[in-house]
Amino acid sequence: MGKASRREFAKLGAIAGIGTALGSAEGLRAVGIAATNTAPASELAKPSSQEESSSRGRLIAPLINHVGYRPGAGKFIVIEDLPGAESFELVRVHKKGMSPVFVGKLASTGKDFGPYLLGDFSSFREPGIYRANVPVGNPVTGEDRLPAWSYDFGIGERVWDDSLHKLVNYYRLQACGASRHGYNSPCHTGKIERDDHGEAVPITGGWHSAHDHLRDLSEILHGVFGLLAVATARPDLEEELGLFDEIRWGNDYFLSLQSPPGYVCFGVYAKHYYDYERWDWWDSASYILITKPAALIFQHNFIAIQAMIAMLYQQTHPEYAARCREAGRRSFEWVRKQPGGAWGREKLSYELGTGVLAGVEMFRATGEVQYRKFAAALANQLVALQQPAGFFAECQGSDVEIAADYDLPVVRAVYAPLAQLGLCAAARWLADDPDWPRWKASLARFASFLKSASEANAFGLIPYRVYRDQPPVKTRSLHGLHYRYFLEPDVKTTIPFWKPDYWNTGSDAQAAGHGVVMSWMAEILGETWLAKLAQRQLDWITGANPFNASMILGVGRNQPVSYRSLEIFPDVPDIDGAVLQGPIGTAADEPLIVSNYWATAEFWMPHQAAVTWLAAEISISA
Ligand SMILES: [Zn+2]
C-alpha cells in the first residue's frame, strides 16, 4: 500500500486529496516530480478546455494496445478528435513499402474523457507486426495532411505469452521468506510477534504486497487468483513458469494463517506503518500477526482458492490437493455460521459474489450438494440487488459509508467486479439448477448496462461505482445514473494502529476485473461483443489510454516513473512485469497520472493479480 510516502506527501502539501487540489508546484518539486505547470492548484485539477490544451505541448498519437491482439480479438484504435482525422490505415512493419494492408473509418464516440474518435479493425486477422497511422490536418501549417503513427503492435496467437512470463516473474521477485528468486532473499524469516500474545514463531511465504512488505490477506490473497488463472488457461506454460511452485509459495503462507476454528487471520502487518525512522522494514521484529479473522470476502476467496488448487493439482500433487480441499472445508464450516457480513447484518454484493464463487468451487471440488445450495442461495440474494438499469447495488438500503474501515474502501476500489464474477460462476457451473435461468437473465441485464456504460467514453471503461442516492462528491451522469470512473478524492482508510487517512489507487484492477467478468459473460451469453470489450480493458492498461502509456514495466511503452519511497533499503527494484496502479481521477473524474506517486505508480498485488488474470483469459479467448 502507499507506505509512509502518504505522510510525506501530506507534509509537503502535495496531496491533501490530490483530486480536490493537486497541491503547489513547490510541493511537487520537493518530491522530485517535474512541475511543468505553475498554475494554481485549483486550475490544475480542472478538466482542460480546448483552448487550454491548444496552448500547451500536445501529443497527437493513435492509441492502440502496445502489445497487440490475438487474431480473433476485438481490435480498436482511438485518437483525439482532430481536424482532418477521418480514417486510419495499418501498415505491415516487416515489409518494404507504405501501402496499407487495412483501411478503416473513424467514428465519433462517447465524450466522457473528451472528444475522441474510434476505429475498429477486428476483422483484420493476419498475423504480423503492424503500425497504425491516422492522417490529420498538419497542426503546424494548417494545410497539408500528416500521418500520426502508433507504436508497433503484434497480431498473433501467442502475442500475450511474453507478457504472461513477465507478470509471473513479478511474483517470484516479490516472494517473501527464503525463496530462490526474491529480490532480497532470504527475508522476514525471523519470529513474528502476535497481537494475542501467543508464542512468536516465524511466519514465512507469501509475497510482499507492494513497495512495502505487508502481508495482510486484504492485499495479497488475491494474488493466487492471478496465478491460478494462468495455470488454468495455459497448462502449456505450467512447467516453464513453475506455476505450482509459485502458487504453493503463496498458499502455504495463507494455510499457515488458518486458525483452529477454521477462519483465516488478518495477516502479518507493520507494527507502526508510518514510523520508518524507528523500524527497519527488512527486520521481522517490525511486524506483528493480527489474529482477528480477515473480512468475510477474504474468507470466501480463501475457500474458493483452496478448492481451485485441489481441482487443478488433483492428479499431479494429490497430497497437497487433499490438504487444500480440507482447509477449504474447515473455513467453509466457520463461514456458514456467520450470521451477517463484515459491515453489518446484511451481506454486501461483494460478499455475496465471493460467497457464490466459494460455494461453486467447493461443489466442483467435492460434488457435495451443501456447497451448491449455499452458492445458489447467495446468487439469488445477489440478483435481488440488481437495479432496473442493470448494475448491482452494494446492499438493499443506502450504500454503506464507512470511513473508519480498512477493508471496504479497498474492496470497492479493487475487488468490486468479484460480485458479478460470482454470478458468472453460478451460471457457468450450476447449469442444471432450477434458478439458473434467473442468473442468466440477470447477467443479460448486466450486459446491457456494460454496453451503455462503456459507450459513454472512448476507451470502453466501466464506472468504478454507480451511486444509489445523492452522491457525496462530484460525479458524472448519464441516463439518470450518477457515477465515477475513479475513486472519490476524499476516500479514507484506517491503517491498523493509525487514524483514518487519505487513500487512493488507480484504475487497473477495476478495468482488469471487469475484463475478466466480460470474458466469462461472453461465453455464458454467447455474445462476442463482450469478448471484444474485455480486450479493451486490457488495451486501457497497456497503452490505449489518454497517456499512450503502458502500466506494466517491461511490457509496452511510456510507463510512468515507478514509485520510490526511499525509506526501505534495499529498495524494491524496477521488476519486469510489475503492474503500476494506473490513472487515478481528479475531482472532476478526469484520469490523472503523477509519475512516482504511489497511488498511480506503485506496484501493488491487487492490480498485479487482476491484470495477470485478465491477460491469462485474453491469451486464450477468441
Ligand atoms: Zn520478505
> What residue spans define the domains of the chain?
5-54, 68-155, 161-618
Query: From the CA of 232, how far away is ligand 1's center (Å)?
Result: 27
Name which of 100-109, 220-229, 278-287, 493-502 the model is least confident about. 493-502
Three-class DSSP category at 330: helix
Query: From the CA of 280, how far away is ligand 1's center (Å)?
Result: 12
- Band the pLDDT of 191: cuts 50, 70, 90: very high
CA-based nearest residue to 562, from 601, 599, 605, 600: 601
Query: From the CA of 317, how far away is ligand 1's center (Å)?
Result: 26
* Whether pLDDT at 58 is above 90: no
Q: What percent of the chain has pLDDT over 70?
A: 91
**Region 323-348 average pLDDT:** 95
Give pLDDT tens digits for 540-560: 999 999 999 999 999 999 999
More confident of the two residues 332 and 20: 332
Query: From the CA of 478, how far away is ligand 1's center (Å)?
Result: 46
Give pLDDT tens digits for 149-181: 999 999 999 999 999 999 999 999 999 999 999
Position of cell 476500489?
Answer: 413
Query: From the CA of 189, how far away is ligand 1's center (Å)?
Result: 8
Name which of 79-83, 267-271, 369-373, 470-474 the model is least confident about. 470-474
* Whether pLDDT at 271 is above 60: yes
Query: From the CA of 269, how far away is ligand 1's center (Å)?
Result: 12
Query: From the CA of 598, how far away is ligand 1's center (Å)?
Result: 20
Query: From the CA of 281, how far away is ligand 1's center (Å)?
Result: 9
Query: From the CA of 480, how far away is ligand 1's center (Å)?
Result: 48
State the pLDDT at residue 499.
86
pTM of the full predicted structure?
A: 0.92
More confident of the two residues 544 and 272: 544
Query: From the CA of 245, how far away is ligand 1's center (Å)?
Result: 17
Query: From the CA of 319, how far away is ligand 1's center (Å)?
Result: 27
**Region 517-540 average pLDDT:** 98
Name which of 140-144, 232-236, 327-331, 607-611 the model is least confident about. 140-144
State the pLDDT at residue 272.
87
* Whether pLDDT at 284 is above 90: yes
Query: From the CA of 112, how far away is ligand 1's center (Å)?
Result: 42
State the pLDDT at residue 1.
62
> What topology is assigned to 161-618 in CATH?
Glycosyltransferase (1.50.10)
Q: What percent of the chain has pLDDT over 90?
A: 79
> In this structure, what C-alpha cell is assigned to residue 75?
481490435
Query: From the CA of 464, how far away is ligand 1's center (Å)?
Result: 32
Query: From the CA of 612, how far away is ligand 1's center (Å)?
Result: 22
For residue 512, give Cα distances in angstroms to 311, 378, 509, 576: 25, 24, 5, 19
Query: From the CA of 187, how far away is ligand 1's center (Å)?
Result: 4
Cβ 138 vs Cβ 98: under 8 Å: no
- Cβ-based neighbour number of residue 381 at 10 Å: 17
* Whether pLDDT at 49 is above 60: no
For domain 68-155, is the CATH number 3.30.70.270?
A: no
Query: From the CA of 208, how far away is ligand 1's center (Å)?
Result: 6
Compute the 3-state secondary structure of the chain and give helix, strand, coil in percent, each to the nearest 5. Answer: 35, 15, 45
